[in-house]
Structure 1
Amino acid sequence: MTNTLGSRALLMIGVAAAALGAAPAFAADTRAATPAAATDPTTAAPAADPAPDQLTDIVVTATKRETNLQKTPIAINVLGGQDLKDRHVQSLYDLADGAVPSLRIATFEARQTALTIGIRGIVPLDANQPAREQGVGIYVDGVYLGRQHGLNAALFDVERIEVLKGPQGTLFGRNTEGGALSIVTRAPTGKFALRATAGTATYGGYNADAHLDLPAIAGFAIKLDGVIQHQDPTTTNPLAGQTGWNYFHRRGGRAAVRWQPIDGLTDDFAYDNGYDSNSPFYSQLLNYNPNGCAAGTQASQPNCYLPGTNYTNLTGTVKPPLPGVVVNGTSRQRIADIGVPQQPSIDKTHGFTNTLKYAASPAVELRSITAWRGVSSTQWDNSGGAHRVPVVAPGCTGNACNFSRYSLADLYQHQFSQEFQAVGGFDRLQYVAGLYYFYEHASDDAATPNSNAIAGYTTAGQTSGYMNVILDPCTGSAGFGSTQGCRSIDRASEVWSRSYAAYGQLTYDLTDALHFTAGGRYTHDKKRGVLHFSRNINYDTAPQTAAINGYKPLDKTWDRFNPMATLAYDFSSTIHGYAKYSTGYRAGGASSRTANYQAFDPEDVKAYELGLKTDFWDRRARFNLAGYIMDRKNSQVDISSIQPTATGSFNNLVTINAPGITRIRGVEADLTVQPVAGLTLTGSYAYTYTRIPPVLISATAGGTTTNVYQNFYIVFTPRNAASGAIDYSLPVGSGDTRLRFHLDANYAQSTQAFDQFATHNDASFIVNGRVALADITTGDRKLTLSVWARNLLDEQYVFRRDPSNSLPGSPSTSVTTGSVNNVLGDYGNFNAPRTIGLEASIAM
């Protein structure tokens, strides 16, 4: 598979050289309708309407005003509404195929309940805790979403998705080190319109959405959106009545009201409510004891090495896989080898936004953005089955026969934000100024009981005489279970966060061609957190035990000033260059995966960027290029460590700030060509280099201390990634009917999936396609019929590979001796299989 994948990648990049690569970036959707205003009134006048074989202008709001993408000195990718249709993007996770090469999206663990989103190598591994933050800001209509939970909910009526690359700390604030993902929805028009889509797909899939615009009455315009998306499991659970894996059922509704009582005053109010029932991807056992671990000296087993340790001896026994377990690292399993209890995880999102805009004069527009949002996430993850620890030995008795770690977690969050902006300009000066307030309250808990046991297991490799047993859901796992009220709580925490900010940005036209932009943002963050439970010890009722464990509540404040400066030059009306300096920061916090609730500090990034944006060939071609250097200080990384507690020593996942400078370097190139009317070729390529300096790890156990340098890695960041697309639109008949063809291909080199391990996942090559007979006119209605395919070639690759089960355990009684008792093998997750669907859409 690897050789085939490599040859396909080389072929795709070669074809992309004719289009330079691949996906819709910078000038992403040259075919989609753009907002009515081509540029902001305070900027240069919009260009004349392009000819049919010329590329259209694309409007973005990256600078808090509407501007022409080509004249905006920021590296931006844009996915328009037509792009999302062509790729059949129903949720953000559908962009994990690499549509934008520098944007990386992955599940947290194997779960669809939370997404890890990164840009330009800023990809936090574990932002899944209430006291930890993301590295890329996610915004919907200007409102920041504080948690990665609920991000995979169904997308409503999206006009475009802007991917703002590089630190956005000045205009967008904290936790935007890598950039910002800005989702812009369609606003009410005040004119009657109805658009509806219904479709069916393989794996029991179906989808439907409806968007109704009502005529304006007394200055009020109303728009209603509804959506439903469903897919049956792609890996079947053999246990009757239980959910399989990679299942989802999403539904949601949104109501928006636009009030325009007088000229210059617009108030937009929106309420949305979403529901997402889903299950994780199946975690297969990819190999068995791949490092040849066994009892003996560490020197005799150089591959059986746990990073961050200095073992001299390995003890214990590598156990065989349980009877019935399938080892398969080459293909996606359609049926799991062992049936386990699995119920859907449930994510619920809801909130309102009120955006008030008042054009006080031609030189100033005043804005107020008020938002309240909430998310609840109930996680049920039993995707590992017998492929994860604990590993059961032949001849086991009692609780030693239990297996299948059922990972359970609940998260509840609500947030409130208020932002005031003043945007405008006069003569040669444009400005943005703002005040911002953000409040968040989040709590979580987690438990990991075993759900299964094996009886009659006496001999390795036996094929009969044994039986898998489902444990009592309340008491079966050593007296505990998965049912609420019966759980042994691994951890439970609660966090309150407040953030205050003031910012400003000025752009001055030094000449008609030379423009200078400077800005800054001051942020004051305060975060308070408590650890309620650790290892089933209630810290609230046992403060003395908590003190023995070294527990301290989190109570931290941080202040930052994030400046930026840009010098932009218009070489001509179609060639624009810029040099930019920008900064960003990610807030600190505490790890609830530790017994002492160990705190860590913020991390800061500085970036230097050169960019070039060009239109040529009589505006039938567009080429954009950016190169950047990013230096990050105090990178937040996770290490496994042993901490003594009141009930013994435990292996904790501790977050620390890595000393030194993390270096991130990259080049991004985007090309769009429209050689003839109706044919569009788009391409993107991203090269990303990352390096975290080695970290000195000290471990103490049994009176002995070791000091070992350990390497850390930035996850889900391919060194090379590319994407390419071909779109062709052919008139049919004499009306507006057109036959539309879309084909895209997306490649990413293999990456690390965990920051502590050098082990890579697989490279990927995903092809998507769509054919549509669009705008069939019947009276005042237009009908579109289409067939689409995701992962058209049914490519199979491991997007997440976990080597922790194939390496010795962390030190417990001695830092020089490790145990291989729980060595089994790497486990991981394959990507989704090919899905094909039919859709019909009507607009009137």
Structure 2
Amino acid sequence: MTLHARLFAATALATALAAPAFAQEESQATTVGADVIIVTAQRREQNLQDVPIAVSAFTADALEERAISDVSQLSNIAPNVTLDAGTPFSGSGAVLSAYIRGIGANDFAFNIDPGVGIYLDGVYLARTVGANQDLLDVERIEVLRGPQGTLFGRNTIGGAINIVTRAPGDEFMIRADATTGSYDRIQLRATMDLPLAEGLAASLSSSFHDRDGYLRRVPFGDSRADNSRDFTAFRHVDFETDDDEGDDHNWSVRGRLDWDNGGRFRASFTGDYSDTDQNQIANQVIATTEFVPGPFAGLAENNIPGTALDVVTGSSGFLFAGLYNFCINASPADLAARNAANLCGTRTGVGGYGTVAGLADPLLGGVNFPGNPAPDLLPYDSRFVSSNIDESYADGNNFSRLENWGVAGTFEFDLSDELTLKSITAYRELHWLVGMDLDSSPLPILHTSFEMNQQQFSQEVQLLGSLFDDTLDFVAGAYYFEESGNLHDFVTFAEGLLQVDGPNDLATENYAFFGQIDWRVTDWLGLTVGGRYTHENKEFEGFQSDLNGFNYDLFNCLPVGPFCAAILGFPDPNQPFRYYPSGTQEKVFENFSPRAGIQVFPNDDLMFYFTWSRGYKTGGWTTRLSNPLPTAPDFNEEEVESFELGAKTYLFDRMMTLNAAVFTTEYTGIQLNFQQGVSPTIQNAGDARISGAELEISIVPNDIFRLDASLGVIDAEYTSVLPQSVVGANPFQAGVFEGAALPKTPSVTVNLSPRVRLPLGDTGSLTFAGSYTLTSSLWNDTERTFLLERPTTNLVNANLTFRPASEHWSVTAGVTNLLDERYLTTGQAQIAGGQIYGTYSRPMEWYLRAGIEF
């Protein structure tokens, strides 16, 4: 079935099912039926069914029934949403890769902003690091699809995810549970509500989670592995290793203090803190690429700058893993023929072997050649590709530590019965260190580590009103945001032949003014108009350098100093190892994002709507250089224009809700992560058109049975690609070109979530809850690497819960990934570095949970 046929079918189904509602004069109250979910998707409280945009909302009970414990798992139940725990080479499941309707970002660096905004009680989380929030003591989650720039602001070009925590109750309450399960899982959660005075109440929640990793590190079994330099011989942000990957070890706490005595003034103070100290996410090399020819040490003359980097004249040479293999096996004649004696010589620079006490730095060239007294080294090749996706031969760094906290104050004052003034003030920090062995071998072929420190402050003021007998609702506001921080990269390639040291500083200041009016013109007609003006100033300084001076050895331009630095194109000859131009870079962005819509209400149970909106995401700079550049490489903003037609309806005496939408989006200036040599670089790739449809249904015919279902179909293709961004089809990749599919965008997503609650009389009740999710195949990276493609997956979760009649305690037994589907959630084609690697999904796991509440 073509996309247009699917869109027509979805629209026809929504219209046909909605048709019976026309015959109803008014909706009838029922004792059973679909829940009324109040959301704040338009910055004010509304029934989900009255919001004229595509929104999925999930209560705390619904999340628990479907085994949803963090933000990334929401993609199992929301249509046209792809959320993954971890991005390429991030090493941490706390990093969120988020795409909605084909638009998002798949990186963690400061140089690129997310395309899906994550909000915690109205506070924007600026970084993808820490955005995969633990859903501790939440009231509901709202997933807003399509650009939300008018009301939610910066970098919500794909959509927004709004996490709303639970307000403390006015009665004392304690709720706690303990969970055990696969991989020695231990999880403890507790929540307490504490009324303090009339109108003043507090809540405190805490969670602890410990679980062993599902990927084991095993010895390779060749004594030559012991001859390679230990990973501690190179510079990293820290050093720590362990024998498994993909574990969990974190705890978090969240507190809230609310004041509401029924008067004009209300206040809420929130604070949250999380501490994660665990290993890297499970990483597995899928293939090695040491055999791919490259520009290094080609048979062409290498003493002229630029020659060795020419992929034509240097095609007889090597890339990094191949160069390492050549060096260790080369004869003196081989080294001379390729003019590679310096290239395969000692590794120098801060962080090299010579800086470690007691370690000499031998020549790398010819160590395996007969007669060389140096101990033999293992070559890097496919011998390190394990036949078991849950085993790796890695022995390098293996840690991820994240400290993430924030405080916020929300104040509301009723100026009159019709006007409310609201303020949200927030401050957040995160501190992150991660160290990874990405080559799955005992050799230091690709080791990375990062340190990020970030601070952000935001202030938002809103004026909300309802006028003319509640026929005109409006919100007007101003927003201020500032962020500063740094990210420091250390990357070791090919036994230290290239040692990247990349500290980067970034500061952002943003202010905006926004407003939206919703006017119910008549009982059957509504109009919406709104807009947001944004001004943003970014400053960046990159200090990236190579500690080993690879380019000087590559071109045989020695000694290292101003003369050779100038010849080789280093931007500052007085800093001969520095790739990045000196000085602070600055960019200023301005944007106006409008929104307009019309709603038609045939009766109280049915709404048709049309919404037009524009979205926007700022540009920045590419930071990961592996060659010197005279000017700072940058990229521009990206924009979308979206058209959405939808229907929201109650059916069958409100025992069923059906929400449907069709949409098309023009996506321009797409920011994508392209692999250029060993460097992942951000650039504007071109334009795309994204069209699709969504259908969400809830059926609640009685107190026993409930069914929630959703369907998403989407067609996301490039309509044009800039010449410098075209990647032709090759043996490794399907490529990037006009008509190619966008990454991280499955064409079909389906979810079925049944729940059956069986009353057992005075004994209690037994509840079965299940969730089935079908996700069609998708590409995990920009270039559409074949080995990183995620196949069509069928994910099944199920659990059984017993509650006594008192409902003061419960016991749940469940299983996640019942069919043991294993697929890649993220990965990188580091062809120049020597490997294609990725992270496989968690295997089937069981759990047993006991909870109490009183």
TM-score, L = length of structure 1: 0.78
Per the TM alignment, residue 109 of structure 1 is displaced from its structure 2 partner at its CA by: 1.5
Residue aligning to 1:565:
596
Aligned mate of 2:209, from 189, 209, 229: 229
Asked if 1:626 is matched to 2:639, the reply is no
In 1: Cα distance, 2:406 partner to 2:844 partner: 34
In 2: Cα distance, 1:639 partner to 1:324 partner: 25
Residue aligning to 1:86:
65
Residue aligning to 1:732:
760
Asked if 1:588 is matched to 2:619, the reply is yes
CA pair 285-631 structure 1, distance change in 2 beyond 3 A: same
Asked if 1:376 is matched to 2:431, the reply is yes
State whether residues 554 and 599 of structure 1, in contact with CA within 8 Å, keep that contact through their aligned partners in structure 2.
no
Identity within the alignment, %? 27
Per the TM alignment, residue 148 of structure 1 is displaced from its structure 2 partner at its CA by: 0.7
Asked if 1:246 is matched to 2:246, the reply is yes
Summarize the alignment of residues 484-495 of structure 1 with structure 2, pairs less than 5 Å apart: 489-495=500-506
Residue aligning to 2:54:
75
Aligned mate of 2:771, from 741, 744, 750: 744
Aligned mate of 1:385, from 440, 459, 470: 440
The one-letter code of the counterpart of 1:364 is L
Summarize the alignment of residues 314-463 of structure 1 with structure 2, pairs less than 5 Å apart: 314-316=315-317, 322=380, 325=383, 327=385, 332-333=389-390, 335-336=391-392, 338-386=393-441, 402-427=443-468, 428-449=471-492
CA offsets, 1:527-556, max 9 Å, x none? 111113333499999766599865563211
Residue aligning to 2:508:
497
User: More deviation in 175-184 or 264-273?
Assistant: 264-273
Aligned mate of 1:669, from 695, 698, 701: 695
CA pair 383-190 structure 1, distance change in 2 beyond 3 A: farther
Aligned mate of 1:610, from 619, 628, 645: 645
The one-letter code of the counterpart of 1:556 is K
CA offsets, 1:510-540, max 9 Å, x none? 1111000100111010111111333349999
CA offsets, 1:373-406, max 9 Å, x none? 001111112243239xxxxxxxxxxxxxx43422
Higher share in helix? 2
State whether residues 214 and 221 of structure 1, in contact with CA within 8 Å, keep that contact through their aligned partners in structure 2.
yes
Residue aligning to 2:610:
579
In 1: Cα distance, 2:587 partner to 2:572 partner: 24
Asked if 1:719 is matched to 2:747, the reply is yes
In 2: Cα distance, 1:215 partner to 1:785 partner: 28
Residue aligning to 2:126:
146
Per the TM alignment, residue 770 of structure 1 is displaced from its structure 2 partner at its CA by: 1.1
Residue aligning to 1:463:
none
State whether residues 385 and 404 of structure 1, in contact with CA within 8 Å, keep that contact through their aligned partners in structure 2.
no
CA offsets, 1:118-141, max 9 Å, x none? 111012132x22132110110000
State whether residues 282 and 384 of structure 1, in contact with CA within 8 Å, keep that contact through their aligned partners in structure 2.
no
Asked if 1:798 is matched to 2:824, the reply is yes
* Partner SS state of residue 448, structure 1: strand
CA pair 237-758 structure 1, distance change in 2 beyond 3 A: closer
In 2: Cα distance, 1:351 partner to 1:710 partner: 43
Asked if 1:57 is matched to 2:36, the reply is yes
In 2: Cα distance, 1:237 partner to 1:553 partner: 43
Per the TM alignment, residue 310 of structure 1 is displaced from its structure 2 partner at its CA by: 8.6
Larger Rg over CA atoms: 2
CA pair 823-549 structure 1, distance change in 2 beyond 3 A: closer
CA offsets, 1:232-278, max 9 Å, x none? 11112236971411111110112211123661211101111111123
In 1: Cα distance, 2:804 partner to 2:35 partner: 20
Greater relative contact order structure (CA < 8 Å, 6+ sep): 1
Per the TM alignment, residue 792 of structure 1 is displaced from its structure 2 partner at its CA by: 1.3
In 2: Cα distance, 1:99 partner to 1:312 partner: 51
State whether residues 226 and 253 of structure 1, in contact with CA within 8 Å, keep that contact through their aligned partners in structure 2.
yes
In 2: Cα distance, 1:823 partner to 1:61 partner: 48
State whether residues 431 and 505 of structure 1, in contact with CA within 8 Å, keep that contact through their aligned partners in structure 2.
yes
State whether residues 98 and 747 of structure 1, in contact with CA within 8 Å, keep that contact through their aligned partners in structure 2.
no
State whether residues 713 and 755 of structure 1, in contact with CA within 8 Å, keep that contact through their aligned partners in structure 2.
no
User: More deviation in 316-325 or 140-149?
Assistant: 316-325
The one-letter code of the counterpart of 2:272 is D
State whether residues 697 and 709 of structure 1, in contact with CA within 8 Å, keep that contact through their aligned partners in structure 2.
no
Residue aligning to 2:800:
771
Unaligned segments of structure 2, at least 5 residues: 1-5, 15-25, 220-239, 296-309, 326-377, 550-569, 727-734
CA pair 152-509 structure 1, distance change in 2 beyond 3 A: closer
Per the TM alignment, residue 710 of structure 1 is displaced from its structure 2 partner at its CA by: 5.0
Aligned mate of 2:102, from 94, 108, 121: 121
In 2: Cα distance, 1:98 partner to 1:543 partner: 56
* Partner SS state of residue 199, structure 1: strand
Residue aligning to 1:524:
535
Per the TM alignment, residue 695 of structure 1 is displaced from its structure 2 partner at its CA by: 2.2
In 2: Cα distance, 1:507 partner to 1:246 partner: 47
The one-letter code of the counterpart of 1:367 is K
Aligned mate of 1:832, from 842, 845, 848: 842
In 1: Cα distance, 2:288 partner to 2:635 partner: 36
The one-letter code of the counterpart of 1:838 is L
CA offsets, 1:63-87, max 9 Å, x none? 1111111111010011210122112
The one-letter code of the counterpart of 2:41 is A
In 2: Cα distance, 1:496 partner to 1:797 partner: 37
Per the TM alignment, residue 782 of structure 1 is displaced from its structure 2 partner at its CA by: 0.5
* Partner SS state of residue 150, structure 2: coil
CA offsets, 1:546-590, max 9 Å, x none? 998655632111111110001011122211110000111001111
CA pair 738-101 structure 1, distance change in 2 beyond 3 A: farther
State whether residues 131 and 589 of structure 1, in contact with CA within 8 Å, keep that contact through their aligned partners in structure 2.
yes
Per the TM alignment, residue 638 of structure 1 is displaced from its structure 2 partner at its CA by: 3.3
* Partner SS state of residue 256, structure 2: strand
Residue aligning to 1:7:
none
CA pair 667-493 structure 1, distance change in 2 beyond 3 A: same
CA pair 575-103 structure 1, distance change in 2 beyond 3 A: farther
State whether residues 101 and 722 of structure 1, in contact with CA within 8 Å, keep that contact through their aligned partners in structure 2.
no
How many pairs are equivalent?
Answer: 704
State whether residues 99 and 746 of structure 1, in contact with CA within 8 Å, keep that contact through their aligned partners in structure 2.
no
State whether residues 554 and 589 of structure 1, in contact with CA within 8 Å, keep that contact through their aligned partners in structure 2.
no
CA pair 602-730 structure 1, distance change in 2 beyond 3 A: same
CA pair 241-505 structure 1, distance change in 2 beyond 3 A: closer
In 2: Cα distance, 1:261 partner to 1:542 partner: 67
* Partner SS state of residue 822, structure 2: coil
The one-letter code of the counterpart of 1:615 is Y
CA pair 295-180 structure 1, distance change in 2 beyond 3 A: closer
Per the TM alignment, residue 101 of structure 1 is displaced from its structure 2 partner at its CA by: 4.2
State whether residues 517 and 567 of structure 1, in contact with CA within 8 Å, keep that contact through their aligned partners in structure 2.
yes
Residue aligning to 1:26:
none
Asked if 1:157 is matched to 2:137, the reply is yes
In 2: Cα distance, 1:217 partner to 1:542 partner: 68
Aligned CA RMSD, in angstroms, stands at 3.3
Per the TM alignment, residue 216 of structure 1 is displaced from its structure 2 partner at its CA by: 2.9
Per the TM alignment, residue 441 of structure 1 is displaced from its structure 2 partner at its CA by: 0.5
Per the TM alignment, residue 321 of structure 1 is displaced from its structure 2 partner at its CA by: 7.2
CA offsets, 1:22-44, max 9 Å, x none? xxxxxxxxxxxxxxxxxxxxxxx
State whether residues 101 and 146 of structure 2, in contact with CA within 8 Å, keep that contact through their aligned partners in structure 1.
yes
